[in-house]
Amino acid sequence: MERGSPRLRPPPRFSEEQFRAACRELDEPEPAPAGSAWELLVQSMGVRIYRRPHEQSGLYDYKIFGGLADCPPELCAKVYMDLGFRKQWDQYVQELYEKTYGGDKIIYWEVKYPFPFSNRDYVYVRECRVMDVDGRKIWVVLAQSVSVPQCPEKPGIVRVESYKQSLAIESDGKTGSKVYMYYFDNPGGMIPSWLVNWAAKSGVPAFLEDMQAACRNYSRST
Residue 98 resides in a domain: yes
Total domains in the fold of the chain: 1
- Which residue range(s) make up the domain with 117? 37-221
Would you report the helix, strand and coil content of the chain in percent, each value rounded to 5?
A: 25, 35, 40
Distance CA 168, CA 116 (A): 34
The whole-number pLDDT of residue 198 equals: 77
Q: How far apart are the first and last CA of the chain?
A: 38
Distance CA 107, CA 64 (A): 23
Residue 24 resides in a domain: no
Q: Which candidate, 93, 123, 94, places its Cα nearest to that of 106? A: 123
The single-letter code of the amino acid at 90 is: D
Residue 166 resides in a domain: yes
The whole-number pLDDT of residue 111 equals: 95
Residue 13 resides in a domain: no
In this predicted model, what pLDDT tens digit does every residue of 205-216 receive, in sequence order?
A: 888 889 999 999
Residue 71 resides in a domain: yes
Residue 30 resides in a domain: no
Residue 1 resides in a domain: no
The whole-number pLDDT of residue 167 equals: 96
Q: Are 152 and 163 in contact (CB under 8 A)?
A: no
CATH number reported for the structural domain that contains residue 59 in this entry: 3.30.530.20
The whole-number pLDDT of residue 8 equals: 46
Q: Are 150 and 6 in contact (CB under 8 A)?
A: yes
pLDDT in tens, the chain (222 residues): 344 444 444 555 799 999 999 999 998 766 555 557 888 888 877 889 999 888 777 788 899 999 998 899 999 999 999 999 999 999 999 999 999 987 889 999 999 988 888 999 999 999 999 999 999 999 999 999 999 899 999 999 999 999 999 999 999 999 999 999 999 998 887 777 777 777 777 778 888 889 999 999 996 655
Residue 6 resides in a domain: no
Q: What is the average pLDDT score of the chain? A: 87
The whole-number pLDDT of residue 121 equals: 96
The whole-number pLDDT of residue 7 equals: 46
For residue 126, the tally of other CB atoms under 10 A from its CB is 19
